[in-house]
Amino acid sequence: MAFEENSKRIMANASTFGWDLQKLVPGKLFFLDAQPSPDLIQAGDFDLNGMLAVLDAKVRAMGARRIVFDSLDMLLNLLDTATQQREANRLNEWIMKKEITAILTGKVEQEAGNNTGQYQNTFMPFMTDAVVELNHRIVDGVSQRVLRLKKFRGSSFSENESPYVIGSRGFEVAEVSSFMANAVKVTKERVSSGVERLDTMLGGGYYRGASILITGAPGTAKSTLSGAFTQAACARGERALFVSFDSAPAEIIRNLESVNIRLKRYERSGQLRLVAARAGSFNSEIHYLRIKNLAQEHQARCLVVDPISALGKQGNELTSQNVLERLLDWTKAVGITLVCTSLLGGNAPEAEGSAMQISTNVDTWIHLNYLVRAGERNRALTIVKSRGTGHSNQVRELVLKDSGISLTDVYTVGGEVFMGTMRWEKEEAALSDKKIQEALAVRKLTSLKLAEAELEVRAKAVQVELEATRQEKAFLAVSDRQTVTDSADRVSQVRLLRGADRFPKGRQRRPGSKP
């Protein structure tokens, strides 16, 4: 029964949420337009008997189990207060007799600054079994809708306000739970942060399904680290969603390319979805639901929200905090690894507390800050906490180069941290020291080799000399013997030649024998 808007408009409005009521109309759904005519003249008391007679017949005819009285107040307000109550009771009795579930809607007068409105028909909440109060308010210029279960007979229920959103998927109520999601998938699987050394510092990377917060001052490479994580996810073949409240997708891709993080190919293949949003345009609740819907649509396993502090910009602090808790709970429950960044200056994040207290809820918290010394500003990375993983307590320098991101040891001397050029100088000094030592060693070796070679040569020369001396000695002995023989032979030879002797027969005469 429509007392305010007519059925045509109700159906048109419902269709914008994708509910095709028209389709149900002949058999399943019946609209009764009951808007009081503006020309209606009232002369005395009236009652709902006629309406109930009509409904009675209709309910019986179609076997209806549900009935909606939309804006019943439009009708009741035609009556004085006492009569209103009488007719409301009549309606109530009829509903109970028919054993039909009825939804009655009505307005409340909203007072500024008061959460609970004043009912126009004060008896209505007492009459019904359950009361759901919808509230729409503007906080800091941003619209916020909240729902509260005020009464629910025969059942325990959460009495707190829950934000809700009317979007393209219809009516979505944020599930506010005071307990952690029970269905959390706990895994020991690690996923890479995209920076090899950071993985090592974390004892193998982030946990799958964990939430990671990266805080830091502007320009400390929060987005870059998120980008590295995204690239690593895509490289593993996982689907990723990157929500940025800072830059347009094309800008993100270009900026990350400068440090050799290449996301374009993954965006083209559809594996990665980059979404840019403006923080101010909606309240945190709508942002949360949009992110959730996008992640579900994209079937993302890895999610980046950069920066998550954008969610806290609008609306009241409490709601934002609530939204963040739910985002963390939800990603954990479905096993999505969440990396979010938050703007946070200063060198002692734990002392300042993190934006919106999110840091207490995340599993891993990495803080980036600048260390300014000797006229330089260098990026330092600290793992503030990382649940369930052993992690390095070292501050490391984050170095961004064309070739990529790397983490470098910092020099700590006498409690001072050296980074950037000072670190480089230190390294260089150490390096040149080493080089000199090496050079000296080489020189020494060479000279020893030379000495060795010289000695070897000398040894060879001596050997040769020795040989020569021996040969000379041997020669000397031979030539002595030869000299004696030669002279005897020569004498006999001369005799023969002179013919003084005959030549002996068969054999030569012995020298010195008489002819």
Partner 1 sequence: MKTNGNFIFKLYVTGEAPNSIRAIGNLNDLCRDHLAGHHEIEIVDLLRDPQKALEDEVLLTPTLVKLSPKPVRKIIGNLNDMAAVLKAIGLEAFRNEK
Residues that bind partner 1 (CB under 8 A): 32, 34, 37, 39-51, 53-54, 56-58, 75, 78
> Phi and psi (nearest 5°) for 395?
-80, 130
Least Cβ distance, residue 50 to partner 1 (angstroms): 3
Least Cβ distance, residue 87 to partner 1 (angstroms): 10
When the beta carbons of 121 and 319 are compared against partner 1, the nearer one is 121
When the beta carbons of 53 and 235 are compared against partner 1, the nearer one is 53
Least Cβ distance, residue 284 to partner 1 (angstroms): 44
User: Which pair of tokens denotes residue 429?
Assistant: 């000094």
Among all chains, which residue has been given the structure tokens 């040969």? 471
Q: Which residues contact 100 (CB under 8 A, 6 or more apart)?
A: 59, 64, 65, 66, 67
CA dihedral 188, 266, 229, 409 (to 10 degrees): 120
Give the span between the Cα atoms of 72 and 127, in whole angstroms. 14
Among all chains, which residue has been given the structure tokens 């729409």? 136
Alpha helical stretches, state H, 138-221: 196-201
Least Cβ distance, residue 128 to partner 1 (angstroms): 22
Residues 300, 197, 268: CA angle, nearest 5 degrees? 35
When the beta carbons of 49 and 360 are compared against partner 1, the nearer one is 49
Let me know: does 355 contact 215? Beta carbons within 8 Å. Answer: yes
Least Cβ distance, residue 37 to partner 1 (angstroms): 7
When the beta carbons of 56 and 251 are compared against partner 1, the nearer one is 56
Least Cβ distance, residue 64 to partner 1 (angstroms): 14
When the beta carbons of 10 and 78 are compared against partner 1, the nearer one is 78
Least Cβ distance, residue 48 to partner 1 (angstroms): 7
Buried b / exposed e along 97-124 (16+ C-beta atoms within 10 A):
ebeeebebebbbeeeeeeeeeebebebb
| Nearest Cα residue to 367 out of 217, 188, 177, 208 | 217
When the beta carbons of 39 and 480 are compared against partner 1, the nearer one is 39
Let me know: does 396 contact 187? Beta carbons within 8 Å. Answer: no
Give the span between the Cα atoms of 263 and 231, in whole angstroms. 6
When the beta carbons of 39 and 486 are compared against partner 1, the nearer one is 39
Sign of CA pseudo-dihedral 147, 148, 153, 156: positive
When the beta carbons of 32 and 279 are compared against partner 1, the nearer one is 32
User: Which pair of tokens denotes residue 223?
Assistant: 């987005």
When the beta carbons of 41 and 484 are compared against partner 1, the nearer one is 41
Q: Which amino acid is at 480?
A: D
Least Cβ distance, residue 331 to partner 1 (angstroms): 51
Least Cβ distance, residue 143 to partner 1 (angstroms): 36
SS3 345: coil
When the beta carbons of 48 and 253 are compared against partner 1, the nearer one is 48
Least Cβ distance, residue 52 to partner 1 (angstroms): 8
Buried b / exposed e along 352-366 (16+ C-beta atoms within 10 A):
eebbbebbebbbbbb
Peptide bond into 307 cis (omega under 30): yes
